[in-house]
Structure 1
């Protein structure tokens, strides 16, 4: 039994309210169950109850056992002085406010609908299941799931916008600088995300603005700060980068002492950090005011055009500085741009709109619906239960669902879980 279940039972009146009585046999009539409080303090605010023909207005506190009141030291907390009813599953002791006045107690055990209890036990009794509702997920109406996934996606965006706001504080409120750091992180993908971000954090964005007219200078800056120019390579391109980096290092007083080392291990060659850093340099050489441009377009094809960049010529025949490879153009793929859209571009557009007090939810939904669904183990497992992810909007919502609800057993706060409990 979880306390959250009792919150659910009380909030949705999943009990026989026609003949309620306190543990002292006083009749209870519910005018309003109150407003659910998910923060500290009593569980429901502003409830209205008739207890023994006396109308009361105040708060309701809910526990599994009455003695939990003392376990949580509520008798010493004046925040709970306005509790007018203590709702419990099992009554095992009388409880009191800080001033020693008794609080009426309602024991829900004998009033709760059997169907609600059975559905709850059915949902939470699953063992060795990937998610609690694994066997029932397919039966939930698709309209309910899709609406819930859209809401979850914006819940995920809200969390990401908090991270962006933290970056903004450390970037002197420079949105272009924030965008650069986020792009750098996501150009590194999962393996080199931290390394690329640490590299970006060592470079004031004003330096990048000054170097944007020269792709070579940008490459020298990125490679040098990522500590990739310390090898013994005779190639003229490499030697030119070393020379340029030494000049930039002295001119801008650069250091990379705290930069995380990049990794090549277990990466496909197109994702090597050398290739990705050259592409990042190409992007900033091509686009002088990238953040401004991102906020003027909302068509997915325009984003694909904007990010249509490739490495400098040297990398057409290399993946590393010291080894020649088969010649191929190394351009950002549509799949990679989709990842940038999901993890960087759309979150920063959303955060900036919030910063300006603008509503862009409709534009964001439209964009996300035009981006293909991500393909990973979580999405595959959900789609195996019921085909629900056809775009990035749904796949991001499913990731939020699994990480923040399923894995934390928060079925009672989930639209899917509520649907199954209400059967």
Structure 2
């Protein structure tokens, strides 16, 4: 038995609430269970409960055993003086208030339906499963799953907004700079995301603005700050970038201290940081006021056109500075632009709308729902259990579900878990 299960039972009234009484045989009527407290102090604040003839307002504390009150030293903590009801699974001792009266106690053991307890046990003690509800995931009602995935998607957006808020604070509310930082991070994908973010943060965005009409200088700036212009290479293009970077570095008093090193190992050549940095430089050379364009554009195809850019001429025959390769245009693929829309554009639109007081997210839902589903092992496994990933809207929600709920055994905080426990 876990306290978390008892919290769930109390919070959602998953017990025989109409026929309960205290261990002192007083009648008990629960007006409100209170507000769940996830910090220190009693488990539920501001409950309203009628015990016998008296209506009480105060806090509720929950334990597996009554004696846990003493195990946790609550008798020495003033924060528990206004507890009006002690809810336990097993009542093994009386708890006394400061005036020596007995604290009313509800023993849940005989009031929890057996089926609910068995469903909980089966869910939380599943062995060798990818997720706890693996065998029953497909049986949950479509309406419940759909509503839960929508909530999870916006929960994921809220988490991504935290990084945006941090970047906003550090850039003094410069949304263009935040977009630049976010794009740099996501151009680097998982392997080089943090490194390219550190590169972007080493550059005042005003410099990017000043160089936007000079693509070669923009490339020199990005490659130089990323630490890619220090190798021994005699290619004319490389030497030109080195010369441009020396000038830019001195002019703007730049330093790349704190910029993380880039990785090439085990990357597909099209994802080499050299290619991605050139594409990012070309994007900012082709578009002035990119943030405003992104905020104004709601159509997916118009956003594809906005991000339709290629690495510069040198990179048509190279993946690195040293080695020549077969002639090939290196533009942003549709799949890569989808990732930019999912991880940069939509979160930024969400954060900006929230900042200016717009609460209608229907356009965002339409946009994310129009983007193809992501392909990864997590999405594939959920789809195997139940065909569910129809767009990026679902795949993002499924990633949130797996990482923040399934992997952490948070079935009691999950609508799917609730449905399976209560069935």
- TM-score class, shorter: over 0.9
CA distance in 1, matches of 2:70, 2:166: 39
8 Å CA contact retained: 1:146, 1:388: no
Q: Is the 8 A contact 1:185 1:192 kept in 2?
A: yes
Q: 1:293 to 1:101 in 2, by over 3 A?
A: farther
Partner of 1:382: 382
**Secondary structure of the corresponding residue to residue 165 of structure 1:** helix
- What's the secondary structure of 1:234's corresponding residue? coil
Give distance in 1, aligned partners of 2:51 and 2:18: 13
- Between stretches 325-334 and 62-71, larger displacement belongs to 62-71
Give the Cα–Cα distance (whole angstroms) in 2 for the partners of residues 292 and 272 of structure 1.
29
Cα 1:230–1:12, aligned 2, differ >3 Å: closer, same or farther?
A: closer
The alpha carbon displacement at 1:354 in A equals 1.1
Shift of 1:32: 3.3
Please give the alpha-carbon distance, in whole angstroms, between the structure 2 residues aligned to 1:337 and 1:67: 58
CA displacement, residues 85-142 of structure 1 (integer Å, 9 cap, x when unaligned): 1000012222234565531111111121111111111211201111110000011112
**TM-score (ref. length: structure 1):** 0.96
Alignment of structure 1 residues 9-408 onto 2, 5 Å: 9-97=9-97, 101-408=101-408
The CA deviation string for residues 172-229 of structure 1, in whole angstroms up to 9 with x for no partner, is 2111111101110110111111111111111111111111110000000001111111
Q: CA deviation at 1:360?
A: 4.0
Deviations 1:297-328 (Å, cap 9, x if unpaired)? 11101110000000111111111111111001
Change beyond 3 A, Cα 1:360–1:286: farther
* Pair 1:312–1:98, CA change in 2 (3 A): farther
In 2, the alpha carbon distance for the partners of 1:136 and 1:161 equals: 33
Alpha-carbon distance between aligned partners in 1 of 2:143 and 2:16, rounded to the nearest angstrom? 30
Deviates more, 1:77-86 or 1:148-157: 77-86
Q: 1:99 to 1:220 in 2, by over 3 A?
A: farther
* CA distance in structure 1 between the partners assigned to 2:31 and 2:324 by the alignment: 79
Structure 1 portions without partners, runs of 5+ = none
Q: How much does 1:150 deviate?
A: 0.9
Moved more, 184-193 or 47-56: 47-56
Q: Could you tell me how far apart the structure 2 residues matched to 1:112 and 1:393 are? A: 37
Distance 1:32 1:359, change over 3 A: closer
User: Unmatched 5+ residue regions in structure 2?
Assistant: none
* 2: CA distance, partners of 1:85 / 1:185: 51
CA contact (8 A) 1:192 1:273 kept: yes
SS, match of residue 17 in structure 2: coil
* Contact map agreement 1:279 1:311 (CA 8 A) in 2: yes
C-alpha separation between the residues in 2 aligned to 1:162 and 1:197? 15
1:388 shift after superposition: 0.8
Number of residue equivalences: 423
After superposition, what is the alpha-carbon deviation per residue over 1:379-419, rounded to whole angstroms, capped at 9, x for unaligned? 11111000111111100100111111111111111110111
Match of 1:21, SS state, is coil
